[in-house]
């Protein structure tokens, strides 16, 4: 991580320390005051401690940490602070490859996060899905090139006309999914990143179900191809699947995709009442999810708000001035309870996200399994 912007000004005495958090739209003014720096440094220490406790460590040649995160309107929300970008980067830094949803056309914040991560972090981005349904969104991957590389396979999943039924309620997925290949060691795999149609109720569910049906028709064909990336396929992202959407989940699992038991049933939104974000895998015998001492697959939801933007009166008070600056009608923030409500329902979600990062630990050392399977075939 690149922490130069958090140094005391007294240390910035020559050109050794390049700065990132400069406001390009305001004469490159510094984006962090001394109070901001102090608060950010303190919270980063808490956040790092939480990540170390809950997310496995990266180990050479034995594991790969996969994460998916819908970062709310990443680029569109103009009141997201430099402080928040540090927290976003710190969370990404704990993993090897992070699939991002809701990256917008404005990439200023995205590029700041990349610079904070350092030069060994690389990325791929899809184009923005055009039209009002696309919501100015694109898909991104940020990955640690020391541990995983882009295989060269990259594309978007577009539904051919022959798959569209007469009087269909949709002809394409509203946000065009990406299909991207990666390599880690001798393993090749592909990731399909999705952001499905949101909303409860019969019509919204029908649209979402048709999106999944069309997607799985395309993936069924790809799974029959000989390239290794197609043999190890992962579907992930913001699926917007509700508790009563089990019939939609079956459209995925009927194609031999499996949801990790380390993630199954865990709430992934900030309100902790829905399982929107999912990871499904269709992989071979040498591509396994790591397990803990009890045989449970390693994966989880990282609740970042246990460490930053904590729901505590003392902590909330530190952000009163920023909330007044950001709220359209600040006169409504008349007492501590109003600040608390606005902080938890809107402000902290606009700083970070209304979704929490989900992750899996993949086991990359499987030489014993490989040798045993080959021996049994002799």
Q: How far apart (Å, rounded) are the C-alpha atoms in residues 50 and 277?
A: 21
Check whether 78 has a pLDDT greater than 70: yes
Check residue 32 and give its pLDDT: 93
Does residue 358 sit within a domain? yes
Check residue 13 and give its pLDDT: 73
Check residue 12 and give its pLDDT: 77
Does residue 5 sit within a domain? no
Check whether 231 has a pLDDT greater than 90: no
pLDDT-wise least confident of 97-101, 132-136, 272-276: 132-136
Range of the domain at 77: 27-305+352-376
More confident residue, 146 or 187: 146
Check whether 186 has a pLDDT greater than 90: no
Does residue 236 sit within a domain? yes
Check residue 108 and give its pLDDT: 95
Question: Nearest-CA neighbor of 300 among 277, 334, 270, 325?
Answer: 277
- Write out 302-358 in H/E/C secondary structure: CCHHHCCCCCCHHHHHCCHHHHHHHCCCHHHCCCHHHHHHHHHHHHHHHHCCCECCE
Q: Indicate the pTM of the whole model.
A: 0.94
Does residue 4 sit within a domain? no
Check residue 89 and give its pLDDT: 98
pLDDT, mean of residues 114-121: 96
DSSP 113-141: HHHHH-TTEEEEEPPPPPSGGGTTEEEEE
What Å distances lie between residue 328 and 23, 25, 332, CA to CA? 21, 21, 9
CATH of residue 256: 3.60.10.10
The pLDDT-based confidence of 288 (bands split at 50, 70, 90) is confident
Check residue 15 and give its pLDDT: 63
Does residue 102 sit within a domain? yes
Count CB-CB contacts under 10 A for residue 181. Answer: 22
Determine which helix (DSSP H) or strand (DSSP E) holds 144, and give its type and residue range.
strand 137-144
Mean pLDDT across the chain: 92
Question: Nearest-CA neighbor of 361 among 52, 65, 61?
Answer: 65
Does residue 37 sit within a domain? yes
Query: How many domains are contained in the chain?
Result: 1
Check residue 16 and give its pLDDT: 63
The pLDDT-based confidence of 3 (bands split at 50, 70, 90) is very high
pLDDT-wise least confident of 27-41, 71-85, 360-374: 360-374
Does residue 325 sit within a domain? no
Does residue 142 sit within a domain? yes
């Amino acid at each position: 991580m690149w922490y130069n912007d958090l140094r005391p000004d007294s240390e910035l005495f020559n050109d050794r320390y390049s700065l990132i958090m400069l406001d390009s739209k305001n004469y490159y003014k510094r984006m962090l005051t001394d109070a901001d720096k102090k608060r950010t440094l303190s919270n980063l220490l808490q956040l790092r401690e939480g990540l170390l406790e809950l997310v496995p460590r990266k180990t050479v040649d034995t594991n790969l940490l996969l994460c998916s995160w819908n970062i709310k309107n990443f680029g569109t929300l103009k009141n997201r602070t430099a402080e928040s970008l540090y927290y976003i980067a710190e969370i990404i830094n704990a993993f090897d490859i992070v699939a991002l949803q809701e990256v917008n056309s404005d990439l200023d914040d995205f590029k700041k996060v990349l610079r904070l991560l350092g030069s060994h972090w690389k990325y791929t981005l899809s184009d923005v899905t055009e039209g009002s349904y696309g919501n100015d969104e694109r898909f991104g991957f940020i990955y640690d090139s020391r541990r995983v590389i882009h295989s060269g396979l990259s594309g978007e999943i577009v539904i051919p006309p022959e798959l569209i039924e007469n009087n269909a309620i949709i002809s394409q997925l509203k946000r065009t999914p990406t299909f991207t290949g990666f390599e880690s060691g001798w393993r090749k795999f592909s990731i399909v990143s999705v952001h499905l149609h949101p909303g409860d109720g019969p019509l919204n569910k029908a649209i979402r179900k048709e999106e999944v049906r069309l997607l799985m028709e395309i993936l069924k064909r790809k799974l029959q191809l000989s390239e290794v990336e197609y043999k190890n396929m992962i579907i992930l992202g913001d699926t917007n699947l509700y508790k009563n959407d089990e019939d939609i989940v079956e459209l995925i699992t009927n194609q031999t995709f499996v949801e990790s038991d380390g993630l199954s049933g865990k709430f992934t939104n900030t309100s902790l009442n829905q399982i929107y974000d999912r990871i499904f895998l269709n992989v071979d015998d040498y591509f396994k999810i790591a397990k803990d001492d009890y045989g449970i697959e390693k994966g989880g939801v990282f609740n970042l708000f246990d460490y930053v933007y904590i729901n505590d009166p003392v902590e909330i008070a530190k952000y009163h001035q920023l909330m007044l600056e950001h709220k359209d009608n600040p006169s409504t923030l008349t007492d501590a309870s109003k600040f608390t409500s606005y902080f938890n329902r809107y402000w902290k979600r606009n700083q970070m996200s209304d979704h929490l990062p989900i992750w899996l630990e993949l086991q990359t050392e499987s030489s014993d399994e490989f040798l045993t399977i080959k021996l049994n075939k002799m």
